[in-house]
Amino acid sequence: MYVPQPDSTPLWRASGRDTRFDHRHGPAEDRTARFDDDRPLLPDWHELLAAFCGHIGDQPEDHPVTRWSRALAELHLQRRHTRSGDVGGIDELRAQLVTFIDEWVSSRALPRGAARAESLGAVVDAMAAAHVRAVHLLRTAAKVSDEQVHAAWFLLAQMADGWTDRAAGVVGPRIRRTA
């Protein structure tokens, strides 16, 4: 569930609405030179869930991962309402977004530990799918206390916790050496 935060928190700054974040969207040579060491490279799970809900990720200045997260959730929602034979195009778009996330992270960060082998884009895609399913079950269940509803939200909470660990395994910035 998205919990609004005051404008002065790191969550607000990382959403892309704070001008200190703009340097990450500038020319490539500026990305590493002016990186904020006190701020994580990746959005936290609050921001991902906010993007899945459609609260952030719709502005060009928003963090790229939150923009792609929002798009993944929208594609999962569209997939839910599409006949099974017509989902090929949706799945291709999802695969592209997963690749965008992976390439964005790999071009800006040095992975640490197990994160080196993981596709963070695939993790975001799975979280988006779990979120869409959990919301669907919450809206369609006869009782909110239904075990399926609880299980879906519990799974999403576990995935959010896992995202925290995976995101902590990514260290930025990748330093480019000039010859």
Cis amide prior to 43 (ω within 30 degrees):
no
Beta bridge partners of 111: 170
Per DSSP, the residues of 70-99 read HHHHHHHHHHHTS-GGG-HHHHHHHHHHHH
Tokens of 85: 């034979």
Instruction: List C-alpha distances in Å: 143 to 2, 38, 146.
Output: 22, 44, 5
DSSP conformation class of 79: H
Give the model's pLDDT for residue 128.
98
Q: Which residues contact 54 (CB under 8 A, 6 or more apart)?
A: 70, 73, 74
pTM confidence score: 0.74
- Residue ranges of the chain with pLDDT lower than 50? 1-37
Q: Among candidates 28, 41, 39, which has minimal Cα distance to 173?
A: 41
Rounded Cα–Cα distance for residues 72 and 97 (Å):
7
Give the model's pLDDT for residue 92.
94
Give the model's pLDDT for residue 28.
40
Tens of pLDDT, residues 48-92: 999 999 999 999 989 999 999 999 999 999 999 888 778 889 999
